[in-house]
């Protein structure tokens, strides 16, 4: 039974038996992510005092300018997972390709791969707005004892065994699921310990917040435009409130607690959408569904999409169940 103020370490041990692959490896993996998150949190919180703000002078595989803190977070998560020797492969939004890991003790014997967005919303760091880390965990599909291949990473979201995010804000929280509900842990910075603060997190059935970059309105599909107009109409509990931070983790986290919908549709400018299926959409969809929410990419459930490439982009809509269902109605009129 979950108890508030339980430490994350205690929670992992106590609930390990509810995970169908209860071997202890996943627990070690979550612990490694917790450790790296604490280090990144420390850097995020002192970013204004040290030379870690601004651009790193390079671009990632997406062609986006990398921020110094992006690079730091990427290196820290990769090195922590490598040093713990508990994963056989890592894929990062900041890397061109996946990284195969051959443990010194067990050659290619580890069973899990991790896909990670080390610092989501990093363009907000310079202006002191919340950012986050998103992670997704799968069991490998290639034989144990062999090097990982691209197939281990190109799995649909419904094959995830765990997913979560860390939000670095006014307080730092780690939220994750292993397919048995969603729980949130808040970092006590004085002790360096995460405590269970939000047990059994759930999206309200509906909400009053819609999160979308309305500056791109003119480029959206008509179904999305119709839904935005619906949100703005004065009727019943509407108009809804528009809230958009520009950091997926922060927008998602607020909407899960207060009730709302997050939208990043495809448009005439970004015809495939902008968010990455493997690093952002799948893990957030897994959390949303485990928290009584929904996540779709248009007609299809996000977690049923078969990935075709490591850095694939897709449209993304997720949040409170009734709000996503209404959006789906608007989209279905045209497609």
What are the pLDDT digits (tens) for 156-203?
A: 999 999 999 999 988 999 999 999 999 999 999 888 899 999 999 999
Q: What span, in angstroms and rounded, lies between the C-alpha atoms of 214 and 255?
A: 17
Q: What is the DSSP letter of 59?
A: E
Please indicate if the annotation marks 251 as binding a ligand.
no
Contact 324, 255 (CB under 8 A): no
Please indicate if the annotation marks 93 as binding a ligand.
yes
Please indicate if the annotation marks 310 as binding a ligand.
no
Query: Considering Cα of 28, then 29, then 33, then 39, what sign does the dihedral take?
Result: positive
What are the pLDDT digits (tens) for 53-97?
A: 556 556 655 555 556 788 888 999 999 998 887 899 999 999 999
- Tell me the domain boundaries of the chain: 8-198, 209-332
pTM for the whole thing? 0.92
Please indicate if the annotation marks 240 as binding a ligand.
no
Contacts of 121 (CB under 8 A, 6+ apart): 129, 130, 131, 132, 245, 246, 247, 248, 249, 250
What order of strands is seen across the sheet that includes strand 293-296? 241-242, 209-211, 260-264, 316-320, 293-296
Please indicate if the annotation marks 274 as binding a ligand.
yes
CATH match for 8-198 among 3.40.50.10490, 3.40.50.200, 3.40.50.1820, 3.30.540.10: 3.30.540.10
Please indicate if the annotation marks 70 as binding a ligand.
no
Q: Which of 248 and 64 is assigned the larger pLDDT?
A: 248
Please indicate if the annotation marks 329 as binding a ligand.
no
Topology adopted by domain 209-332 = D-Maltodextrin-Binding Protein; domain 2 (3.40.190)
């Amino acid at each position: 039974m979950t108890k508030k103020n339980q430490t994350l370490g205690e929670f992992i041990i106590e609930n390990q038996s509810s995970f169908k692959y209860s071997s202890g490896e996943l627990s070690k993996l979550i612990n490694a992510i917790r450790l790296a998150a604490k280090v990144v949190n420390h850097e995020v919180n002192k970013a204004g005092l040290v030379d870690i703000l601004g651009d790193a002078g390079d671009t990632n595989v997406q062609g986006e300018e990398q921020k110094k803190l992006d690079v730091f977070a990427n290196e820290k998560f990769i090195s922590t997972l490598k040093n713990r020797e508990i994963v056989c492969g890592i894929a990062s939004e900041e890397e061109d390709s996946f990284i195969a890991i051959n443990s010194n003790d067990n050659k290619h014997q580890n069973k899990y791969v991790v896909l990670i967005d080390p610092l989501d919303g990093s363009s907000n760091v310079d202006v002191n707005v919340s950012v986050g880390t998103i992670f997704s965990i799968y069991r490998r599909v290639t034989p144990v004892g062999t090097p990982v291949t691209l197939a281990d990473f190109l799995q649909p979201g419904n094959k995830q065994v765990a997913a979560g995010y860390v939000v670095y804000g006014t307080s730092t929280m780690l939220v994750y699921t292993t397919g048995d509900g969603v729980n949130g842990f808040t970092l006590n910075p004085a002790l360096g310990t995460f405590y269970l603060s939000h047990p059994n997190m759930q999206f309200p059935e509906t909400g009053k917040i819609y999160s979308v970059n309305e500056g791109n309105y003119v480029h959206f599909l008509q179904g999305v435009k119709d839904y935005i107009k619906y949100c703005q109409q004065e009727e019943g509990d509407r108009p809804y409130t528009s809230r958009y931070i520009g950091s997926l983790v922060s927008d998602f986290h607020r909407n899960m607690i207060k009730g709302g919908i997050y939208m990043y549709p495809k448009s005439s400018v970004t015809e495939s959408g902008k968010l990455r299926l493997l690093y952002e959409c799948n893990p957030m969809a897994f959390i949303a569904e485990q928290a009584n929410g929904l996540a779709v990419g248009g007609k299809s459930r996000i977690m049923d999409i078969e990935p075709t490439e490591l850095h694939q982009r897709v449209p993304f809509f997720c949040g409170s169940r009734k709000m996503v269902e209404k959006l789906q109605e608007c989209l279905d009129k045209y497609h």
